[in-house]
Amino acid sequence: MPDDNWLSAIKFDEDGLVPAIAQDRDSGRVLMVGWMNRQSLATTVESGLATYWSRSRAALWRKGEQSGHFQQVHEVQLDCDGDVLILKITQGGGIACHTGRESCFFRILRDGEWVTVDPVIRDPQEIYGDD
């Protein structure tokens, strides 16, 4: 029986989920936030590849399974309340966002407007195809 005591320190919400912040290990940039349940976190730690829970598809989702942009996980951090995770990662392809940008956080509030500050590195249609 695998020792998974460490999982019991995590306070999953009423849906069995916690937010997981994917942060570039080298630059410190926050690239995306996904959700994890117990199984996706265990899979992430076992495999070393970030595996989230897709709330829209209600399924395990290994980041990169469609795009090829996997996330190699170097470290997992837990906060004081046990209800938020940080993954220190290396982002395959340098693209975390489904819009083809490095980070999902590409909008900054300036004078009451959201300004897009990051370029699209690769056309999402090229990454994901037409479907």
| Sites of contact with its own copies (CB under 8 A) | 3-6, 9, 19, 21, 23, 27-30, 32-33, 45, 75-81, 84, 86, 97-99, 101, 104-109, 112-114
- Neighbouring CB atoms inside 10 A of 115's CB total 10
SS3 assignment for 38-50 = HHHHHHHHHHCEC
Q: Between the CA of residue 83 and those of 80, 97, 100, 125, what are the distances in Å?
A: 8, 24, 29, 35
Instruction: Report the nearest approach of its own copies to the CB of residue 6 (Å).
Output: 5
Q: C-beta of 5: minimal distance to its own copies in Å?
A: 7
Which bin fits 93, alpha (ψ -120 to 50), beta or left (φ > 0)? left
User: In the bound complex, what is the minimum distance in angstroms from residue 12's beta carbon to its own copies?
Assistant: 15
Residue number with CB closer to its own copies (62 or 105): 105
Question: Taking the alpha carbons of 6, 47, 69, 58 in that order, is the dihedral positive or negative?
Answer: negative
Report the residue number, 20 or 70, with the smaller CB distance to its own copies: 20
Q: Which is nearer to its own copies, 3 or 126 (CB)?
A: 3
**Shortest distance (Å) from residue 72 CB to its own copies:** 15
